Structure 1
Amino acid sequence: MHTEASSTSPPINSPWFRGRGRGNIMRDITFPRIMEDYLQGYREHYAGIDPPVRLQENTVSKLSRVKSFLSFMAHGFNRLSDWLFLRDLKRIRGWSRSLMKSSLQVTTSDFYIKNISHFLKYMADTPCKGSRLSQTDMILIKREVVAILKSLKRKVLIHQMQVKRDKMEGLPSHNDLMTCLTSTTTRIPQLLDVMACNPTTATRTLLYGYMTLHWSCIYGHRPGVYSNMTNAEVRKADTTGTAFGYLVHVSNHKTANAFGEAQLYLTVEEFGWMKRWLEIKGTLTCTQSRYFLYTEGKNPFRKLAYSLRMAWADVGLHGPINFTDLRTVHADNAKRFQDKGNRQRVSDFMCHNTATADKFYANNPSLKEAEDIRLLFTESLQAAAAASTAAAAGNEDTFAGIDIDSDSSGEEHSPAPYQDSLPRHVPKRDQSLAEHSPSDMGEERVPYSAPTSPTVASDQLVNMQCVVVISPLVNTLYPV
């Protein structure tokens, strides 16, 4: 027997609140067997076939958010397998408000709600066995979530603009990047020597930081490009390289679906560091990983952000640093100092979507750009004023020297032909009459005489129905 629950939300100390977003408790929540099987099917659908490691991790996180949402919605219900607890639209809004009132950023809350929207679309397309939700129920539920996302759009956009503005103000300078490139050229060979003689985890972590710092100061790739680079991809580049350099192709990274493989062009010296690291790895234990930046295990190295900060501090630079900052520097430089074609080439090489970037650049102009935009407004006003003045002067020139009391040609004005004031359309019955001459119809021709006054003309038009006969030689007016 299904028992309806009250519309009250789960208590603040419930597992839903304690485990939201972390997955440490949500993954342990269990539902009826039929629901668990359905959620497993959704997980397999989202992951697809042969998912990379990162997608597998994202799938687990997404399923955890779905289970947290279902746990919130099912609070107080005794029967869950019919899915009727999802019909409580008020509770859906309460779940969204709880996200907004938590410590999550508005963009994170928006991302969670989009996860649920994706799951609900899957439910609508693939109904669960035993579900008693009707098609109308699913339409109402999905529409409610879409409305919630729409109401968050303004807050999300403003937050993104603020974050972008703060990020642009805290970017490393160009001198910092040049200092890094000089230091990495010296420190990487030194760290390789240490790893060959006395390998330690700390030295290896610092080496990874310097390598990724060097690559990012040149290209600004995402860290996933470096962590997913495999030994096979490096060896392949070794076989195709020449004295002009080497080109490494990395197939597994975040935006591979949109940009394909990510590339790193390396000089002979830079690729020599990579070849030596492959040789050193062969002498170490626990190096069964297929990834170039190996870790103890089969997964990619996931602490590159920490390694980057270590190298940044070792160079002698201060302040926070991450891969996104270095990536933003390159995107901003390409926008400001390259033409449209070259900017697109740079963006494609670093797997960067310029459409998204341009949206935030337009909404967050620099102080100088804002000054230039103000100048454009001023120029527009000045151009409009000049055009108005020119138009007024042109009108004066047109009417200058014209005597409105007399005709400059010296000729008398002739009245417009009387028939021009008549409608051009003639009824078919009148047309048939007009096709015959008056003599053929046994009628007398009435000579045309112009009306002597407007009043007479008006009376004639009112009291007489006329037919106009148009001839090449004469226009004659006949009374009917």
Structure 2
Amino acid sequence: MFIVIFLTKNYFKQYQAFHEGSCPSAKHRENAFSKVSRIRSFLAFMAGKDSSLATWRFLDKAEQIIQWPNVLAASGKNITTANFYLRNVLQFMIYFKETPPKLARLSQSQITGVIRAVRQAIKSISKKMLAHQLTTKDKKLSKVVSQESLRRCQVGARKAIPKLLKELREDYTVQLRNAFYGYFSAFIASIYGHHPGVFKNMTVAEVRGAATEGRPPTGYVIRVKEHKTAKDFGPAQMFLEPEEYDWLLKWLQVRERCNPPGDWVFFTPGKGPLKNLVRYMQEAWAEMGLPGKPTFIDLRTAVSAHAKNVHVPEVRSKVAKFMCHNTATTTTADRYYALHMDVEQSRAMRRHFEEASTLPHLDSPSSPPKPKKVCPRKATAQEESDSTSLSDEAVPYQEAGDSCLEEQRWELVSEEEGQEEEEGRGGGRHCAASSIYTSQDPEEGDVQINKVHNNKVHRCLQAQHGGM
């Protein structure tokens, strides 16, 4: 492993600088260093006892790459951690393909094969990833902070913060300062569900800049540029009412007396941002007599879950964007909320299924009407050309029961037989309805029936040809 690190030292310096960017923050540097560390562990696994390290040919082992998630799992790594490792390796290999090291002897097709194997490894753990994430979401929702607790937190913090500020102005202590941090962050997080980084990275300039937009008694909007999801959502926003904004102004007056080194609103004795904010928030939560010991992530999950259950999708989308929470098609929130429902939601969903199988369909009739038999007519020349253009194959003749003319013939025969039985065999009679002369002679009767049938056929053909 040390040989691999030595051979790739300069190359990794370039790669790390590439990920840090032009104006890296401390968090960006930390993330870039973590990515490089994961890639180095992958290279050590692939190299093993291979002697061709400088040529990078040890990477051309697709089967070994696909087995790497199992090795990580055996070493105690979580499935989500293995996913992070693989995705960092995939980013590195794409960079490797575009800017290979000077000593590399891998062809482009070999590098493509390595990339394909890494993607296959990511795909192979996708099912376990989903199961793990759903289990994690289930645990989160099982201990989700209730709406009542969020509301009590807002009421309790609103009462405690003015008292803390008054005590801080009279006698500043670190304990009072940390208590103010905890109460204020709990108050804002219970409303907006912001990440702790929003509070840690809030600057004095951002707080004072909000005053130019505020119009008392409307309120003020503070926009924090530096936070976890800034690259996707831009500045994190929080709207404060005049009284709430006045809390920060009073705190800035206390802060000026301490002469902190940085520009952060919530400062520490050191040069870096605040790191123990979650502990201060939990202490304030307990002092307000609220149940549990939630983190900022728990409050964020609660705000998002309650917004899902209360608001319509359009409003919930706006709420999610304001709290910098992604709810797009690739989002975590909607994906897992759609797959996970609590008991009441599942019960309501069952009612929907039962309604679908029991309620009558009012739009459809109880029994479909019988189709009417229509006497076929001869197709026109244009219709024949249209049908020919649709299909060049001849359609075979299909027997579909008696034709229209045959039905008319047998109706006439039945009608004549009924008349003979009714009138008896006495002499011929003239039928006014059909203008047919019938005779008692059987042979002559058959001739008359055939004559009527021929007249009917003639009239039907005339109707088909437009009265010709």
Following superposition, the deviation at residue 283 of structure 1 comes to 0.9
Q: Among 178, 181, 197, which residue is 1:224 paired with?
A: 197
1:141-199 per-residue CA deviation (whole Å, 9 max, x = no partner) reads 11111111111000111111111122111011111112111221122223333433444
Distance 1:406 1:120 in 2: 75
Corresponding letter in the other structure for 1:259: F
After superposition, the Cα gap between the structure-2 partners of 1:77 and 1:214, relative to the gap in structure 1 and judged at 3 Å, is same
Choose the corresponding residue for 1:203, options 176, 184, 187.
Answer: 176
1:253 to 217, 220, 227: 227
Aligned with residue 381 of structure 1, among 340, 344, 357: 357
Structure 1's 79 and 192: CA in aligned 2 closer, same or farther, altered over 3 A? farther
Residue 81 (1) aligns with residue 78 (2): no
Q: 88, 110, 114: which one pairs with 1:141?
A: 114
User: Which residue in 1 is equivalent to 2:133?
Assistant: 160
1:315 Cα shift?
A: 1.6
Change (3 A) 1:176 1:387: closer
Among 76, 96, 106, the alignment partner of 2:69 is 96
**Contact 2:65/2:121 (<8 A) preserved:** no
Name the structure 2 match of 1:71: 44
Letter of the structure 2 residue corresponding to residue 59 of structure 1? A
Tell me the distance in 2 between the aligned counterparts of 1:222 and 1:296: 22
Give the CA RMSD over aligned residues: 3.1
Quick one: distance in 1 between partners of 2:403 and 2:43? 91
Q: Is the 8 A contact 2:153 2:187 kept in 1?
A: yes
Q: How many Å apart are 1:409 and its aligned residue? A: 11
1:178 aligns with 2:133: no
Contact 2:46/2:58, CA 8 A, preserved across alignment: yes
CA distance change for structure 1 residues 413 and 124 in 2, over 3 Å: closer, same or farther?
A: farther
Secondary structure in 1 aligned to 2:223? Answer: strand
1:412 maps to 409
Question: How many percent of aligned residue pairs carry the same amino acid?
Answer: 34
Q: Deviation of residue 373 (structure 1)?
A: 2.2
In the alignment, structure 1 segments of 5+ residues that lack a partner are 1-15, 17-28, 415-471, 476-480
Q: Do the aligned partners of 2:86 and 2:118 also contact (CA within 8 Å) in 1?
A: yes
**Structure 1 CA distance, aligned partners of 2:405 and 2:66?**
80
CA distance in 2, matches of 1:231, 1:340: 35
1:361 corresponds to = 337
CA pair 236-148 structure 1, distance change in 2 beyond 3 A: same
Aligned residue type for 2:344: K
Q: CA deviation at 1:51?
A: 2.0
Please tell me the residue identity of whatever aligns with 2:94.
K
- Residues 30 and 36 of structure 1 are in contact (CA less than 8 Å); yes or no, is this contact kept in structure 2? no
Once the two structures are superposed, residues 25-64 of structure 1 have per-residue CA deviations (whole angstroms, 9 ceiling, x without a partner) of xxxx574655211111111111211123322221111111
Task: Mark the CA change 1:386 to 1:190 in structure 2 (over 3 Å): closer, same or farther.
Answer: closer
Residues matched between the structures, number: 384
> Distance in 2 between the 1:310 and 1:166 partners?
23
Aligned counterparts of 2:265 and 2:362: Cα–Cα separation in 1: 66
Deviation at 1:130, TM superposition (A): 0.5
Compute the TM-score of the two structures, normalised by the length of structure 1.
Answer: 0.73
Question: Partner of 1:394: helix, strand, or coil?
Answer: coil
Inter-partner Cα distance in structure 2 for 1:388 and 1:317: 54
Alpha carbons of structure 1 residues 30 and 223: separation in structure 2 relative to 1, 3 Å: farther
Which residue does 2:309 correspond to in 1? 336
Counterpart for residue 89 of structure 2: 116
Superposition TM-score, scaled by structure 2 size: 0.75
Letter in 2 for 1:377: F
CA distance in 2, matches of 1:216, 1:33: 46
2:245 equivalent among 268, 271, 286 = 271
Counterpart AA for 2:285 = W
Cα distance change on mapping 1:200 and 1:71 into 2, 3 Å: farther
CA shift, 1:212, in A, is 0.7
Pair 1:313-2:313 in alignment? no
Structure 2: gaps spanning 5 or more residues:
374-400, 412-464
Structure 1: distance between partners of 2:372 and 2:347: 41
Task: Return the index of the structure with the highest Cα Rg.
Answer: 2
SS in 2 for 1:129: coil
For residue 325 of structure 1, what is the aligned residue in structure 2? 298
SS of corresponding position for 1:247: strand
Q: For the residues of structure 2 that align with 1:62 and 1:200, how far apart are their CA atoms?
A: 40
